[in-house]
Structure 1
Amino acid sequence: MEDHIFGTFSTDQLKFLHERASAMGVQHRARLLPLDPSPGEPFTLVVTSGTEFPARAIVACYTTDGSEPTLECTQLPFQRMARFWSTAAWGYVTEWHALVPPQSEGTLFRYRIAAQDGEGTWFWADWPQPKLAVEEVLVKGGESAPLRAEPGRPTDFAISIDHFAPPTWVQDAVIYQVFLDRFARDEDGGWPTPPSLYDLYGGTLRGVIRKLEHIASLGATCLWLSPLFPSPTHHGYDATDYFDVEPRYGTKDDLKELVQKAHTLGIRVLLDLICNHVCNEHPIFQKALRDPESEERNWFWIDPSYTPHGYRAFFSVETMPELNTDHPTVRDYLIRAAEMWLKEVDIDGFRLDYAHGPSHAFWADFWRAVKRAKPDAWCFGEVVDPPESQLSYVGYLDGVLDFHLGDALRRVFAYGGQSLLWFDGFLRDHDAFFPSHERFSRPTFLDNHDMDRFLFAAGGSLDRLKLATLVLYTLPQPPLLYYGTEIALQQRYGKSEGYGLEVSREPMAWELATENAELLRYFQRLGALRHSEPAMRPASRETFYVGQDDYLGRHERDGSEILVLLNRVPASTTIKHEALQGSFVDLLSEKPLALTGAVTLEGIEGRLLKRL
């Protein structure tokens, strides 16, 4: 089953269209070898040209002084390296390489890529843009969209030559995600009952302050707040001002108090920042619409060709016009906002919404500014794209949300469509594909505000939720917990039933903390173990046995070891192995065990064993 999280890749048709567009025209897509060049290290730019564009020459035009590159700048020639067949494009694709000489630390290497056709005309990469082609089909329907070749519009690229890396505190992080309007009000009491989940429920920053002890009890060391900027909607992903707090949530002073009290409890605080688009009520957008000659007009993509609104909008949503983040004034505006929150409020970083909207060049500038403002800030992006695309953000962000691992967890433990044998192989390949977690963070989750809750997907099974959470908390990357999961907060409808993304954004039912006290204790225990047992964040995993529905493996870190045992079906099972001999403690029940080579697991059960 395909979840909403892969909306732009949710059908074979969309996947094929993406592959076809990627094999056409001239494509760089920020591909570098190595991924994140160090100071003093040469690196290679990788470009492909499609069969319908017989490129005669390709060059990279670059600057190192921060200025915008043009064809008159210093050029690096590309060399043909290989040809391969693309069935999607039904033609040969040529791969080109250009070697960039070593650059000194602190250099911002800005570049554009131009390709010359047989008639001597220069065309700018990247085109066509696969993302735009897929979005058009997703929004408008139909079998395919015209692959718009816009060779006159260059794509900006940049790479910062530095030693930036995720902060060390991230390695031990447990993240708790709060949807502000739905988490907690200023005072205890019931929620209002508006007509729909599109309406406002009245959650506030002071409500979050009141519930910090609850968050801390889960072992959470990082709090992700949904967008809190002024906005007309409950979700806030359409800001009208990036320098203030939405009044219904509270004030900037309330946020400062929240951050200070969270820090006292050992909890860092992240804001949800949207750099791809704004609200159509944003004063700058309104001025751009009114005055075609205004400077603000350049902040957006306003043109009659962008149907039906006359401007490019996020998935064609009229209320969310997209920003031209490569425009210097737009870039500076967003960076100044980020710097303000870091310096004035002591925010600890950002979850970056729809991070594959802005260009890599934008993120190169943004990440440099964030690290200079607060070196231990954490920036991870929402990039709902294939792993190859996610990998391209190494050297541009601290990491990306691991949608693919989240999807795998749901396939195996919620829907049951894949086996533990498949999952074990997926984990091995997935971890090998990406850099280490010390180099590139991949926060992982079971659900979030844009998906059906895991509990809903699992048919209400608390046992499946507990088992999946155990697996989540025994993986190397930071686990991310969506508010209410720990007390079995449910939803009334599924996202496929036509009720929109809001169905998993029900208000927090705090009374469930008593009703589902055993489940809450389970989450609290896993959170505590995540910090007390180094092997819960394994540096290595060894599979002793894996079948379709049961698993035994050893996790190790810094000399600490635990055994992980899983059974994902309702029937009990017995796992036999020589590793299951001796004296152990069950880390969940805290009871000692004397084993003689076998362990029986009840239906849909997980165990964590530590040798005494």
Structure 2
Amino acid sequence: MDDFIFGSLATEELRLRHIRSLREGITHAQRRAPRDPLPGQPVSLELTLGPEHPQQQAWAYWTNDGSDPVGQNGQAQNGYATPLTPIDAEWDTLVWGYVRRFRGQIPGQEPETVVRYRIAAGGPGGEVYADEGAFYAYYVDNDPPPAWTRDAILYQIFADRFFDPSPEFPFTEPKPSLKCNGTLRGITAKLDYIAGLGVNCLWLTPIFPSPSYHGYDATSFYEVNPRLGTKEDFRQLLNEVHKRGMKLLMDFVPNHWSNQHPTFVESQKDKKSPHFEWYTWKTWPHDYKTFFGVKTLPQINLRNPAAREHVLGAAKYWLDFGVDGFRVDYCIGPSPDFYAEFRRVT
């Protein structure tokens, strides 16, 4: 049986199409160095132009105050404009032409700065933004990963299937539900067993309210699924984990959530909803951007400031609650500038 690959690169044809589009287009694709700059450290940006693009100039528009950069033809209207200069050209047999490379540098910044940028090419053919106009960002600080992560031995727990002390466990509802009756208290009851395996970090699959057994389609990022327990149960679990010198990671899905999420239900009924722009509507109300075309998983428009702050606020909420970090699901889904803000918050 052939291995199943989930996603947009599942076949050789799709992978080839993806590589061709990168080489043919006006592409940045987060090519910067260093990726994690220290305070005062300049950041180099690269851009490639495929053979069908005649533009002879390129530049980066950027800001360091959290706002979106705005500019036109190399002149900044909000923030700054930094030129990118041509450095070489390489023949590419796949696209049968020369792919040109440009490079520029954003100067070093103060600690705790979010630098947000876009890259464009201009000249003959007009100004065109790289990567379909994507906004990128990076966070400047001297904040290496916590020391404990270097020696972490993780144990993943599927929360609703792991354990519950009641004699009814395990019980699984018939299809299509497949929900089981594992609980947070059940995890707490097994901590000595888990610690005895040599584990020092737990990774819980999503524990948010959700219509599914797996929880990757949350209806709230701020609550605990009542099937699994309460916030007090979760606090007790955290306390017992930390007593044993262990850490706990939550599974966090910033890209999408359930179509039963109250903000989506409201937006699908009313275009005047304050949450309407939390989603990318192709044709309202039934055609919208989703996780790989799954209609029950609308994608969150993290370019919308209110939606982004809602998701970032949830991450901060659980860190303040006591969790030690996150395992981020489908991390390539959110807009490219999201994770600079995520790092700032976490």
Same fold per superposition (TM over 0.5): yes
The structure, 1 or 2, with the larger RCO (C-alpha pairs under 8 Å, 6+ apart) is 2
Residues 16 and 88 in structure 1, CA contact (< 8 A), matched pair in contact too: no
1:320 aligns with 2:297: yes
> Once the two structures are superposed, what CA deviation does each residue of 1:351-394 show, in whole Å capped at 9, x if it has no partner?
00100001231101011110xxxxxxxxxxxxxxxxxxxxxxxx
Q: How high is the sequence identity, in percent, across the aligned residues?
A: 40
Residues 169 and 181 in structure 2, CA contact (< 8 A), matched pair in contact too: no
- 1:392-471 correspondence to structure 2 within 5 Å: none
| 3-state SS, counterpart of residue 283 of structure 2 | coil
Tell me which residue corresponds to 1:98: 104
Q: 1:67 to 1:19 in 2, by over 3 A?
A: same
- 1:29-40 correspondence to structure 2 within 5 Å: 29-40=29-40
Greater CA radius of gyration, 1 or 2?
Answer: 1
- 1:77-476 correspondence to structure 2 within 5 Å: 77-119=83-125, 121-127=126-132, 154-196=133-175, 198-304=177-283, 309-343=286-320, 345-370=321-346
TM-superposed deviation, 1:275: 0.3
In structure 2, stretches of 5+ residues that fail to align are: 72-76
Give me the whole-angstrom Cα distance separating, in 2, the residues matched to 1:87 and 1:183: 52
Residues 134 and 336 in structure 2, CA contact (< 8 A), matched pair in contact too: no
Tell me which residue corresponds to 1:531: none
What amino acid is the match of 1:122?
E
Give me the whole-angstrom Cα distance separating, in 2, the residues matched to 1:233 and 1:179: 13
> Once the two structures are superposed, what CA deviation does each residue of 1:265-317 show, in whole Å capped at 9, x if it has no partner?
121111111100010011111122122233311111111299xx410110100
Give me the whole-angstrom Cα distance separating, in 1, the residues matched to 2:8 and 2:247: 32
Tell me which residue corresponds to 1:27: 27
Tell me which residue corresponds to 1:573: none
Residues 303 and 335 in structure 2, CA contact (< 8 A), matched pair in contact too: yes
Tell me which residue corresponds to 1:16: 16
- State which drifts further: 331-340 or 297-306: 297-306
Q: 1:340 to 1:77 in 2, by over 3 A?
A: same
Q: 1:241 to 1:93 in 2, by over 3 A?
A: same
Q: 1:236 to 1:110 in 2, by over 3 A?
A: same
Residues 201 and 248 in structure 2, CA contact (< 8 A), matched pair in contact too: yes
Residues 2 and 10 in structure 1, CA contact (< 8 A), matched pair in contact too: no
TM-superposed deviation, 1:11: 2.6
TM-superposed deviation, 1:193: 4.5
> Once the two structures are superposed, what CA deviation does each residue of 1:308-338 show, in whole Å capped at 9, x if it has no partner?
x410110100100001112211111011111
> Once the two structures are superposed, what CA deviation does each residue of 1:557-607 show, in whole Å capped at 9, x if it has no partner?
xxxxxxxxxxxxxxxxxxxxxxxxxxxxxxxxxxxxxxxxxxxxxxxxxxx
What amino acid is the match of 2:44?
T
> Once the two structures are superposed, what CA deviation does each residue of 1:211-232 show, in whole Å capped at 9, x if it has no partner?
1111111111100001011110
- 1:515-594 correspondence to structure 2 within 5 Å: none
Give me the whole-angstrom Cα distance separating, in 1, the residues matched to 2:212 and 2:330: 18
TM-superposed deviation, 1:79: 0.8
- Higher strand share goes to which structure? 2
Residues 251 and 326 in structure 2, CA contact (< 8 A), matched pair in contact too: yes
Q: 1:175 to 1:122 in 2, by over 3 A?
A: same
Residues 116 and 136 in structure 2, CA contact (< 8 A), matched pair in contact too: yes
Tell me which residue corresponds to 1:394: none
Q: 1:297 to 1:205 in 2, by over 3 A?
A: same
| 3-state SS, counterpart of residue 319 of structure 1 | strand
What amino acid is the match of 1:164?
D
Give me the whole-angstrom Cα distance separating, in 2, the residues matched to 1:158 and 1:245: 31
TM-superposed deviation, 1:189: 4.8
Give me the whole-angstrom Cα distance separating, in 2, the residues matched to 1:304 and 1:189: 47
TM-superposed deviation, 1:34: 2.5
Q: 1:291 to 1:88 in 2, by over 3 A?
A: farther
Give me the whole-angstrom Cα distance separating, in 1, the residues matched to 2:92 and 2:2: 25
What amino acid is the match of 2:323?
I
User: TM-score if structure 2 supplies the norm length?
Assistant: 0.93
TM-superposed deviation, 1:52: 2.1
Give me the whole-angstrom Cα distance separating, in 1, the residues matched to 2:10 and 2:68: 37
In structure 1, stretches of 5+ residues that fail to align are: 128-153, 371-612
- Number of residue equivalences: 340
Give me the whole-angstrom Cα distance separating, in 2, the residues matched to 1:5 and 1:282: 28
What amino acid is the match of 1:18?
H
Give me the whole-angstrom Cα distance separating, in 1, the residues matched to 2:313 and 2:334: 16
TM-superposed deviation, 1:117: 4.9
What amino acid is the match of 1:256?
R
- 1:52-67 correspondence to structure 2 within 5 Å: 52-67=52-67
Give me the whole-angstrom Cα distance separating, in 2, the residues matched to 1:241 and 1:214: 31
- Higher helix share goes to which structure? 1
Give me the whole-angstrom Cα distance separating, in 1, the residues matched to 2:299 and 2:260: 13
Residues 229 and 241 in structure 1, CA contact (< 8 A), matched pair in contact too: yes
